Structure 1
Amino acid sequence: MKILVVEDSIRLGKTLVDGLSRSGYAVDLVGDGSAALQYAKRLAYDVVVLDLMLPKIDGLAVLRELRRSGESAGIIILSARDQVQDRVQGLQLGADDYLVKPFSFDELQARIAALIRRRYAKPDPVIALGSIDFDTARHQAFKSGTELKLTPHESVILECLALNRGRVVSLRKLEDSVYDSDSSVSRMPSRRISARCGRNCGSRENPT
């Protein structure tokens, strides 16, 4: 899963990127509204975590433009604006959730996971892939009732395959779900990981 964090505080932005990356998400960070629009329109994100008080373009203007242009990513507003009218306005403009600063990182993660589940409209968090059951709520895989020990990257790839069950998943989509757009890490390992997951799950991978 790929997340765009839009936060002008360098310290908070780094904290969010580090925490979400450790949870297996591919995360990009931008610090102003103009960059947020450029990234969101150029790359496919599952979730956008959006601050409101941003340089260049205000967060609400970013939100309005993203929804106007048809952006379907889940959007969570993360802001110090704590008045009821602020929350109502954000939700009316198209945000899926609103979390007030200061906040619990565990709560943010839970809200992101819930938003991803709603986006992919899977009422049952456990998705069967051949002989493997993947729990999208707990990010765990089981085979014959026994939990499989997966690395964070393997878990993300398997989740991508599970949420796109029945459809061809391109190698680029698998890589984008694991690596941020500026990653200098070689993407070759994901070929081996996705091939292993594909064999175990009976899924097909599109090499293009």
Structure 2
Amino acid sequence: MTVGPPCRSTTPTRKGTDVFLRRLPRPPRPLEQDQHPIPPTLFTTGGSYNDTNLAKTLSSACTSAVPKVGQQPGRLTRACVPTFRAQGRGRVINVTSYTGLHGNVGQANYAAAKAGIIGFTKTTAKELARFGVTVNAISPNAETRMIASIPDEKRAELAAAIPMGRFADPSEMCAAIGFLASDEAAYITGVVLPVDGGISI
């Protein structure tokens, strides 16, 4: 998928976000559709978790994932709005998770962060629609480094619960992201698209 300038994905850390925002160029002058056929697109993703039972955890651990995961999409989206308005269109694609949609034992902090992204996605979709900007999210179920860190026995148990019987390769998320970034998805906004092998059924 080609991502239209100047918005790109970035690290979810505050330091990384600050660097991104400092480097963000001024909004370009509006271009004709045939000069820049791909809408300017912002794709945000990040994951940080500290699994523990809520009754046993320290208060700092309970909320630690929220600023790491949940705040950066807002800062980045706000920075890209001038570009979107100058172009008269744009795409924001965020990444939430199964846990953000359904919750999961031992992941109250992570669930809060990812559920917050869903609320942010839906609210921002309403606010930016009048500027021709769509805001959507995907809920993936891919074999990331976070999944790879799970003990083998537990990971096999999780994979067995997926109707398709496996975690996706991260590259299998690209088609969904590319579609949401395309002109074909210009009338789709505020949705969460599960790309999860059926685990959320």
TM bucket (normalised to shorter chain) is 0.3 to 0.5
More strand as a share of residues: 1
Normalised TM-score (structure 2): 0.34
